[in-house]
Structure 1
Amino acid sequence: MTELEIAGRVVELIRRLAGPDAQAEAVVTRADLALTRFANSFIHQNVAESGVGVRLRVHVDGRTAAGSGSLVDDDGLRALVERTLAAARLCPPDPAWPGLTPPSPIVASAVFDESTAFAEPDERAARVRDFVDAVGGLEAAGYCRTSYRSGAFANSAGHSALGRTTEAAMDGIARIGGSDGVARHCADRLADLDGAALGARAAAKARAAADPVELPPGRYEVVLEPAAVADLLQNLSWYGFNGKRYAERQSFAEPGAEQFDRSVTLVDDPLHGSAFPYDLEGSPRRALTLVDAGTTRAVAHDRRSGAELGTGSTGHGMIGASTFGPTPRNIRLLAAPADAAGGGVGAAATGGTAAAGATGGGSVATGVTGAVADPDTAELLADVQRGLLVSDFWYTRVLDPKSLVITGLTRNGVWLVEDGVPTRPVRDFRFTESYPRALGPGAVLGLGRWSVRQPDRIDGVWWEAPPLRLAAWNFTGGASG
């Protein structure tokens, strides 16, 4: 059976076993995932999996329950339906049930590349080889992955939808002594991943990060590379633009208020890249402007949180939305327009996207700057009198969800910038910072003109941003504590 036939079969079983008044929705996803992992400059693992998953949600006699399974023959589907109906009888009443998605137009999936969908292991291995060769003898580790998903949705209200998508990603580290350099890129097509360019970038940063000095904690002007900006977008998504948290007044978001610098425009744009055109509830997915020129405009909703606030779904129904809340998963920080300060020439207001090597759209600059910064980042550094260039953040944790104060660590390279030039590597810092405050009115001094898509741990989830220059970042501890 096709995915749509399976989904229709599940809905029909609910109707037969629970009666015509039962409401049901079924999501069927066929996934082909493959990963080539390397360490110590050798491939040590190549794995692939292919399977079909079915997720069912029913609303019967005022009660709601969900179930999932991977057996798609008649016996397997019937068992899924029976145990989900049994679970519904044990659940408490659900007076906030928002109902099913009515028949709605769904646009075709924006991205599908057959060569990526059916990529062979040697095609991923070739990019790993290019990465390892490009690091020039440094120790290399990381992965190259490809994914292909096709799926269907059907519910008892007569709504159905189809989708398919592909994605490729590479994440690699080069190491020399105790110094690491990283390069990452996520793309719709495997052909867009340039292992050699990523390896050369990681190696240059690792070499330039050797023998770091320690600086005292304090507030520093910073230029954040796209990998670090991706952490900002992820945490803003989870804890700020989350419709459930907003409804519970646990989010900083105030739609209609100018909460960000006017250079900041954030768009959740699933159809820009590898994502299905519908969500777990069958609602259409579309571009959602979260922040427009500094003014907060929207938060993400599934049907339940949207009904509670009277706004409707924004296409963000997902697993866990009823407990954690619906979140954007494909946020783009739009690059600077051509005439913006720090933006330079070459990107429209819709934001530029970096080429395959994720090197900022041009050749590497010369000298010390070129060793640690692509031309786009170097342009932002040029006006920094004294500050820090930060490659990446990690191990970030929320201290205060309402103001979104985050603590975390830098990694994979930090450099002191003096008179527009990175002059020396710096040992890692701990920071404690309110992400909305750091991006607040007047706090953004420049945006790059080329966006780079950063992969998430989950395929289909990504964060896209240019480098970002901020007036201040609060570093609260150094290597000594």
Structure 2
Amino acid sequence: MSGESGRAGAELELAAHVIQLVRELAGREAEAEVNVRHEAEALTRFANSAIHQNVASASTGVRLRLHAGGRTAGGSTTLNSADGLRTLVERTLAAVRVSPADRSWPGLAAPAPLRLSAGHPGSGERSGLAFGFDEATARADPSERADRVRDFVRAADGLETAGYCRTVYVSAAFANSAGQAVEGRTAEAAMDGIARSGGADGVARLAAARLADLDGAVLGARAAAKARAAREPVELPPGHYEVVLEPDAVRDMLENFAFFGFDGKAHNQQQSFAEPGREQFDPSVTIVDEPLGSRDEPAADLPFDEEGTPRRPLVLVRDGVTTAVTHDRTSAAQAGTESTGHASAVSRSWGPHARNLRLEAAPLLGAAPGAGGTGAIADSARPLISAVRRGLLITDLWYTRVLDPKALVITGLTRNGVWLIEDGQITSPVGNLRFTQSYPRALAPGKVLGIGAETVLLPESWGRARYAAPALHLAEWNITGNASG
């Protein structure tokens, strides 16, 4: 990825050029918005405790959305020559002429400055190029990722390991025919690995805006400790169990909240549980979307969305009360409000989703984001276990699927370590379990018995979103069977 971060300004020039082509070919009556995104991703995979794949890719894509004569069409290209961009405009204009009428077109974002990064006062000039960006992560080479894999494998001390370490650099720009023109860049890193012992798996994962914050030895030691502690599990019957969810499991809850709960399109269609102004969660629960980072972490995302709307922190739940849902310009217009800066390339179809949710940790001086410790139990979960009379410690949730989007009833499996807790002590590992649980109901008033004091930044299971999660002590979790049935 070396040298990729020296592209500042190139994307904005491309975007401005496409806007000029639209004016020449479609006239000033056409409304146009252009996204130019240069993305470089590098991935180092390991299995059987050895690196088996190192891949890297870099590309610059241009997306055009054009609205003319009451119709809308979009197009994209990676051919960034003068001829390639002209062809993009010509074929998008041709597509507009045969598209159906677009009665939900919300118009273009007006010119607006980008906002300051919450974690880096004074860094937010209009260009957005200094929003907590880490140059070293953007320039990371394969040896730096390999070093972390080596440390992970060594720390597992002979256990079989597998996983990945990745770095991503993005430089992007947006321009529209209404005069909005912004640019920004971001970098991120993530590591996710498992260790296996006697058929039992342990996991450790972490996301960061700086590759330097990923310690392969810490992660490998934690994965190995969990695997060793999970050997020879017992089976438990179905039932409603008190649980302590480690941050990895809470990450799955936040991901489903983002995609199905706080989605403004789903809310407009009455397919979301969210009711702004109502106390739907325990008073201890506050959930914030933080695309501009925090005082502990550089910016998590670009400072603008796919429609050029400046991003900002958005409180979705405050002290148990649902306060907002996420909107792009289309869902906002339908709701009679303003965009919250959550437009994506597919948000008009699939809904606008938050990508940087944080469930606020319990206030405790000295608590800070981290990797969750090197033992079998995440640091954020340790103090919560002592308050459990009889229940379960659950590391991770996976293969989760929505059964009822309105109530956000989820079914899925536990993974990578489950233990029985009796009288505040872990007494036995437990085999993986199937559950069926409404996520909002699990966090309802009176159901949250404790929140850990440390949040852990975790990568999304399949994309590049980041979630900051503490451990949770919950009064009830509905176990419906063992993993085999």
TM-score of the aligned structures, taking structure 1 as reference length: 0.94
Q: Contact 1:227/1:393 (CA < 8 Å) preserved in 2?
A: yes
Structure 1 residues 218-227 or 458-467, which shifts more? 458-467
Q: Which residue identity lines up with residue 397 of structure 2 in the other structure?
A: F
Instruction: Give the distance between the partners of 1:440 and 1:58, measured in 2 at CA.
Output: 44
Deviation at 1:177, TM superposition (A): 2.2
1:228 aligns to what? Answer: 249
1:94-126 Cα distance to aligned partner (Å, 9 max, x none): 122110000001133523111110101000000
1:25-44 equivalences under 5 Å are 25-44=33-52
1:174-213 equivalences under 5 Å are 174-213=195-234
Q: Contact 2:379/2:454 (CA < 8 Å) preserved in 1?
A: no
2:413 aligns to what? Answer: 409
Deviation at 1:458, TM superposition (A): 5.7
Deviation at 1:346, TM superposition (A): 3.1
Q: Contact 2:247/2:380 (CA < 8 Å) preserved in 1?
A: no
Equivalent of residue 98 in structure 1, options 86, 99, 106: 106
Instruction: Give the distance between the partners of 1:23 and 1:271, measured in 2 at CA.
Output: 29
Q: Contact 2:45/2:52 (CA < 8 Å) preserved in 1?
A: yes
2:102 counterpart of 1:89: no
Deviation at 1:467, TM superposition (A): 0.6
2:467 counterpart of 1:463: yes
Instruction: Give the distance between the partners of 1:177 and 1:270, measured in 2 at CA.
Output: 41
Instruction: Give the distance between the partners of 1:252 and 1:155, measured in 2 at CA.
Output: 35
Q: Which residue identity lines up with residue 225 of structure 1 in the other structure?
A: E
Equivalent of residue 303 in structure 1, options 324, 329, 332: 329
Equivalent of residue 400 in structure 1, options 373, 392, 404: 404
Equivalent of residue 154 in structure 1, options 175, 178, 197: 175
Q: Which residue identity lines up with residue 480 of structure 2 in the other structure?
A: T
Q: Contact 2:260/2:408 (CA < 8 Å) preserved in 1?
A: yes
SS of 1:393's partner is: strand
2:350 counterpart of 1:346: no
2:268 aligns to what? Answer: 247
1:356-376 Cα distance to aligned partner (Å, 9 max, x none): xx025xxx5xxxxxx521333
Instruction: Give the distance between the partners of 1:377 and 1:420, measured in 2 at CA.
Output: 12
Equivalent of residue 359 in structure 1, options 361, 368, 372: 372
Instruction: Give the distance between the partners of 1:326 and 1:113, measured in 2 at CA.
Output: 27
Q: Which residue identity lines up with residue 24 of structure 1 in the other structure?
A: A
Q: Which residue identity lines up with residue 306 of structure 1 in the other structure?
A: A
Deviation at 1:80, TM superposition (A): 1.0
Instruction: Give the distance between the partners of 2:168 and 2:349, measured in 1 at CA.
Output: 28
Instruction: Give the distance between the partners of 2:107 and 2:462, measured in 1 at CA.
Output: 29
Instruction: Give the distance between the partners of 1:281 and 1:222, measured in 2 at CA.
Output: 41
Structure 1 residues 226-235 or 101-110, which shifts more? 101-110
Equivalent of residue 477 in structure 1, options 460, 476, 481: 481
Instruction: Give the distance between the partners of 2:378 and 2:351, measured in 1 at CA.
Output: 37
Instruction: Give the distance between the partners of 2:461 and 2:242, measured in 1 at CA.
Output: 29
Deviation at 1:460, TM superposition (A): 4.2
Q: Which residue identity lines up with residue 359 of structure 1 in the other structure?
A: G
Task: Sort the Cα spacing of 1:212 and 1:73 in 2 relative to 1 into closer, same or farther, 3 A.
Answer: same
1:49-198 equivalences under 5 Å are 49-107=57-115, 108=128, 110-198=131-219
Instruction: Give the distance between the partners of 1:187 and 1:478, measured in 2 at CA.
Output: 34
TM-score of the aligned structures, taking structure 2 as reference length: 0.93
Structure 1 residue runs of 4 or more that deviate by more than 3 Å after TM superposition: 457-460
Task: Sort the Cα spacing of 1:28 and 1:479 in 2 relative to 1 into closer, same or farther, 3 A.
Answer: closer
Q: Contact 2:268/2:335 (CA < 8 Å) preserved in 1?
A: yes
> Where in structure 1 are there 5+ consecutive unaligned residues?
339-344, 365-370
Q: Which residue identity lines up with residue 271 of structure 1 in the other structure?
A: L
Task: Sort the Cα spacing of 1:240 and 1:292 in 2 relative to 1 into closer, same or farther, 3 A.
Answer: same
Instruction: Give the distance between the partners of 1:286 and 1:241, measured in 2 at CA.
Output: 16
SS of 2:205's partner is: strand
Q: Which residue identity lines up with residue 454 of structure 2 in the other structure?
A: W
Equivalent of residue 444 in structure 1, options 416, 441, 448: 448
2:15 counterpart of 1:3: no
